[in-house]
Structure 1
Amino acid sequence: MPNAAAYLTTWGHDNTVPFPRELWLEVLPAPAAAYPSIDFLPLDLSEVFTAYLDGEVQLYDQVDVRIAEGKPYRLMLIGTVPADGDMWFVFNADSGQVMMLDIESPSLEPVNSSLAAFTDFLYHFSLFVDADTGSEGRAQRAAELKRRLEDVDPSAFADPESWWNAVIAQLSSAG
């Protein structure tokens, strides 16, 4: 995984927001390995992630959710999908997974097996966008990005309808 300087160079110093890594490590039951080595996240990454929030719930607030008759989830809000503020990226305080919560349905689906994997995915996505020179060769580059991300977190691609499969499909067809 990249070091802090690499993340900052890629995301931009003015495009990051601190997150309470040390506090969460201390008070949340998620395994330590679920956390990235950095204590910040990007503020805004194109079409895939934003930490700019509107509404009553604030960044890093705890959100308790029960889907149907299932067990309750203790989730920490870490961002949203830029084009849809009702699709929240949340950190599962128990498992360490990053999940997507559709607050309208409500429904919950896995995004990454850990916050560490999620930040690595955002890092590689940023590198992809920064290096983009147009539609020529983009599909091949998107396939290479997917292979790299599968090495980091294969579970993110287990469901053909997953968030990251949809992102890669959009990158492959964009032009």
Structure 2
Amino acid sequence: MTRCLSDEALTRVLAELATDAERAHATSCTACARHARRARHDLTTIAAVLSETPEPRPRAAVLRPRWLPAAVGLSAAALGLLLWVEVAVWRAVTPVPPTMQPQEVAAILADVSASLFSLTGGPVGAASTPSALDEPDDQPLTLEAMAQQLDSTLMGGEP
């Protein structure tokens, strides 16, 4: 009893790469001959389909911009650098305002307080009366004196 050929041996027979013994067995054995005819028919069908069918259209390649994350990162870094330089230049160029004297602060606060708390809408108080404007101050006022003057002006008493 002869043993039938394996699929690999039948493939070699179909490709005409088999040994003489394999070819002789494929022609003498009815089962191997039938198996070889079926495989040959399948191969011819596959070859016909491949030759008659048009090639598929190539898909349009989806182009993903690989440079986009790098561009966003560089833009953010450039923006940060620009802001840092602008702030540094702005601080260097902007003059520092001179400090105000306590008398100026007191006068401004008195005018604001008088305007806010007046009944007529105009400034009222010691700073706007003609007698207070005519008297020259020989000594600068201290903060305590200014606070007392402001309290007396707001409470309606004499300074």
Higher helix share: 2
Q: Could you say whether these structures have the same fold, taking a TM-score greater than 0.5 normalized by the shorter chain as the test?
A: no
Normalising by structure 2, we get a TM-score of: 0.18
- Pick the structure with more strand per residue: 1
Structure of larger gyration radius: 2
TM-score with structure 1 length normalisation?
A: 0.17
